Homo-oligomer: A and B are copies of this chain.
Amino acid sequence: MEPSAPSRRVTIVDVARHAQVSTTAVSKVLRNAYGASPEMRAKVRRAIDELGYRPHAGARGLRGQTYTIGVMLPDIRNPFFPEILDGITGSLEDTEYQVFLGPGGNGEKAEARVTEAMIDRRMDGIIMIAPVSPRTHLEQVASSVPTVVVGRHGSSPVYDTVVDDDVEGASLIVDHLAGLGHRRIAHIEHRETDPTRRAEMPNARRADGYRQAMRALGLAESIDVVSTSYTQEGGYKGAKELLARPRLPTAVFAGADIVAMGVLEAVAEAGLSVPGDISVAGYDNTTFAALGPISLTSVDQAGHEIGRNAARLLLERIADRRRPSVQVRLSPTLVPRRTTARPPE
Contacts and interface: CB of A to CB of B under 8 A. Distances in A.
Interface in A27-77: 54-59, 61-62, 66, 68, 70, 73, 76-77
Contact of A143 (B4, B102, B288, B322): B4
A89 B61 contact: no
Interface stretch (A184-192, A211-219, A261-269): A261-269
Kindly report how many copies of this chain are found in the complex they form together.
2
A182 interface: no
Contacts of A322: 3-4
A103 B122 contact: no
A305 B311 CA distance: 35
B294 A1 contact: no
A57 B235 CA distance: 43
A4 B145 contact: yes
A66 to B, nearest CB: 7
B76 A77 contact: no
A120 B56 contact: yes
Interface of A: 1-7, 9, 54-59, 61-62, 66, 68, 70, 73, 76-77, 79, 81-82, 85-86, 89, 98-103, 105, 113-114, 116-117, 119-122, 139, 142-147, 157-158, 232, 261, 264-265, 268, 287-288, 291-294, 317, 321-322, 325
Given A3-B143, A57-B120, A57-B122, 7 more contacts: A5-B144, A57-B58, A58-B61, A76-B76, A98-B102, A99-B103, A288-B294
